[in-house]
Amino acid sequence: MATGVIDPRYGDASATPPPWAAIERLLVDAQLYWIITVRADGRPHAVPLVGVWQDGAFAFCTGSDEQKQRNLDVNAHVAVTTGSTGANGWNSGKDVVVEGTAVRVTDAEALRALAAAWFAEYGDDWRFDVRGQEFVELSDSGASTRGGAWVYRVAPDKVIAFGDGHGQTTYRC
């Protein structure tokens, strides 16, 4: 990822941009994200979800009948947000927006690696097995508890970090 560039219109132009490693650490450590997709009629759709940041990209899953899946069928461009401001404060913490295109993951080895990452991040609350080209959620006994979920990866085209003394910093791929 390139060095961040502070936008002087929205921050302190004399500040030092946060290093990419610090922004990526926020993405790795987050437990809750928001994803914004676009409906077929152009209206936005935003929902919270769990996911993992792995190998420089955000991964999430969705059921084949969910609204975000129907949206992705029409338009794969998404924005994913997360942050550390806690109480939506202005003077502390950072919020991060990842813009990119959601691409379905179907390779069994890649899906197994992502299932392991989910388990490492969330434990038994989000334990998946790979069946075919999708995740199947498992119970404590190892039995399937729900139908499959399709997995997507969003490699960033652009990442924008907000907060602290820098204001707004943009990282481009």
- pLDDT tier, 173 (very low <50, low <70, confident <90, very high otherwise): confident
CA 98 to chain centre: 7
Pick the more confident residue, 111 or 6. 111
The burial of 60, by beta-carbon neighbours within 10 Å (0-12 exposed, 13-18 middle, 19 or more buried), is given as buried
Which residues make Cβ contacts (< 8 Å) with residue 120, sequence separation at least 6? none
Q: What is the mean pLDDT of residues 32-39?
A: 97
Residue 143: per-residue pLDDT:
47
All structural domains of the chain: 5-106+149-172 (2.30.110.10)
In this model, does residue 1 exceed pLDDT 80? Answer: no
Q: Which of 79-83, 138-142, 160-164 has the highest mean pLDDT?
A: 79-83
Residue 85: per-residue pLDDT:
56
Q: Are 131 and 115 in contact (CB under 8 A)?
A: no
80-137 pLDDT per residue, tens: 999 875 555 556 678 999 999 999 999 999 999 999 999 999 988 888 888 888 888 7
Residue 91: per-residue pLDDT:
61
